[in-house]
Structure 1
């Protein structure tokens, strides 16, 4: 096996009203960040194929403003929000009825404000860290750190919200990733759940909440559908996967069964929208113009005294393939029982024998009769044995 290529960094310096763009590229995965737009990750490309939804009327492929658009902090009604797309972090719960709820987006600090940024490099990885200003409405300063490792079609994220006010506050971290949604029935979101816990919660209903189907005892499926609304999953066990247009993006995370989560206990939420001819009045004039799926992760609601912080970590992996996701590991996921989608390059070893080579970001079909390991270029083995098939 060959040593993976080094992680390259490109700084596209802005000027005038155009903000800086930071690109990180490891030869498999290319990530594009615009820190001045709320610390957003706005491009994620797997060997050139874009995997995030981005508002093409506001930003072009280089993540530069389109036409006369001038990026700037925005506050006010939902109808004024510049939904750039991509991946961002907000505080939860969301709401407009009390100071204990985050009344955004739009939001002039955490959603559309400037984030300071740094790039740190090692021999194996590069980390982009973006930090917001102090938000007087919530009392928080939010930090987002993305670590890209050599040759992987995955990256690791560390989120932090610190109370930089003089008051006690209570918030949860809430990460929102926007991907393009497909036609109804063409794919959707699979969510791992605690065995038998099929609870769902209807949230922020525009036209309707997405329908949720149970897949056996350990998974839920939210198919692509033409609705505008959100569903929460209190029993999420630690992974989700969105499949569309021949690719799948997964997120793995740790849950705390003893903690209290916002939005009636939701650990994961899925928002779907599709084009409408008129704005939705009861959602602040939101006017959907595209099919979008948001995969959303929530941390525990945490009481923060001045100076305290709450942290949340997750890992996102991407690959070709858009089938039925049955299980997700840190180095790849399974579609069905015999199709492995890898996030690192290495040999697939079945019952001690190397049977085939897996390339990061690719999907391959193998016959599985026992334990399966993925062995990387250093000789490190990762257990990727698929879960045995569940029955409805």
Structure 2
């Protein structure tokens, strides 16, 4: 495995992690993992090309949605009470450069202390040797302030999919296998034999939550499976959701695959973390259903 400093899309201080099969690109200037792909293969993470090379503008009235993979504190419904604004996201988590530490073939992104949450976060990024697998462990550390109930929330923005899936557990806590988090459900939402599937609506945004431990993005030539095992007998944010899928409308054609940790009240000196495993698969246009069942190990 190698780590090399590169100029990525105008961000000069970027880094590429690679092994014999895959590569991941990390951009500390915008605090994100901006790409995950087979070497020479199809990009999977969505990026806004209009923001290439730019850094977050904290004075901008418009949210800078760079794309890639990031972390926010959950639940979002408490942002306004904690930060005094409901949108955009807390700047320390979304809109400031992060420090970087490189050690033993892994990269760790390190934030400043958020003034509202009193939390510093770390994102430890590694590739498994000779495997198409990336692991990201996101840690929240309570450094100062009053105790705070919070959940680690990771958001991966991916390009327009052929379809998106969630592996619903056999004994789901949700009668339909999901819970509705937007005004309307996706018109093409289906749950069949424990597999939830949906496609992006070009005209409206939609969001659902679930108790899945595995999400799947299916592209034209490659698929990304994301895994983060749900823990039993604990409470999660957003109506007890440990996994969420968001689909955006045109012209920004992306979907989000999201995982959340259990809610925990952090005292100063305490930490909590969430690990997500990202696995790449090569796909073909034939026998999509068979490929999905194989990837999801169903």
The answer for the alignment partner of 2:64 in structure 1 is 82
User: RMSD across aligned C-alpha pairs, in angstroms?
Assistant: 2.5
Verify: 1:250 aligned to 2:225, yes or no. yes
More helix by share: 2
Trace 1:211-360 onto structure 2 (pairs within 5 A): 211=187, 212-216=189-193, 218-236=194-212, 238-275=213-250, 289-321=251-283, 324=288, 335-336=292-293
Match of 2:40 in 1: 48
Q: Aligned residues, how many?
A: 289
Within a 5 Å distance, the mapping from 1:136-285 to structure 2 comes to 136-182=115-161, 187-197=162-172, 198-205=176-183, 208-211=184-187, 212-216=189-193, 218-236=194-212, 238-275=213-250
Tell me the TM-score normalised to structure 1 length: 0.68
The structure-2 alpha-carbon separation of the partners of 1:23 and 1:230, relative to structure 1 and needing over 3 Å to count, comes to same
Cα distance 1:133–1:274, how it changes in 2: closer, same or farther (>3 A)? Answer: same
SS of the residue aligned with 2:196? strand
Cα separation, partners in 2 of 1:192 and 1:325, compared to 1, 3 Å: farther
**Which structure has the greater CA radius of gyration?**
1
Report the counterpart of residue 33 of structure 1 in structure 2. Answer: 26
The Cα shift of 1:203 comes to 2.2
- Deviating above 3 A after TM superposition, structure 1's stretches of 4 or more consecutive aligned residues are 100-107, 322-326
2:224–2:281 contact (8 Å) kept in structure 1: yes
- 2:186 and 2:198 in contact (8 A); partners too: yes
CA distance in 2, matches of 1:106, 1:97: 10
Q: Provide the rounded CA distance (Å) in 1 between the counterparts of 2:74 and 2:141.
A: 14
* Partner Cα distance (1:250, 1:13) in 2: 28
CA contact (8 A) 1:251 1:314 kept: yes
**CA distance, structure 2, for counterparts of residue 89 and residue 145 of structure 1:** 12
Secondary structure (helix, strand or coil) at the match of 2:46 reads: coil
**Secondary structure at the counterpart of residue 150 of structure 1:** coil
Measure, in 2, the Cα distance between the counterparts of 1:85 and 1:267.
21
Pairwise CA distance, 1:142: 1.0
The CA distance in 2 between the partners of 1:30 and 1:240, in whole Å, is 20
Secondary structure at the counterpart of residue 98 of structure 1 = helix
State how far apart, in whole Å, the 1-side matches of 2:121 and 2:248 are.
27
TM-score normalized by the length of structure 2: 0.88
How big is the shift at 1:43? 1.4
Distance in 2, matches of 1:81 and 1:264, equals 26
Matches within 5 A, 1:107-146: 107-121=90-104, 126-146=105-125
Q: Provide the C-alpha distance between the structure 1 equivalents of 2:96 and 2:83, rounded to a whole number of angstroms.
A: 21
Structure 1, residues 55-86: CA drift from partner, whole Å, max 9, x if none? Answer: 11111xxxxx1xxxx41352675xx1111101
Counterpart secondary structure, 1:130: strand
Deviation at 1:139, TM superposition (A): 1.8
2:126·2:134 contact (CA, 8 Å) conserved in 1? yes
Q: Deviation string for 1:74-109 (max 9, x for gaps)?
A: 2675xx111110100111111354228984434321
Shift of 1:8: 1.7
Partner of 1:72: 56
Deviations, residues 120-163 of structure 1 (Å, cap 9, x unaligned): 22xxxx21100110001222111101111222111111110111
Q: Secondary structure at the match of 1:109?
A: helix
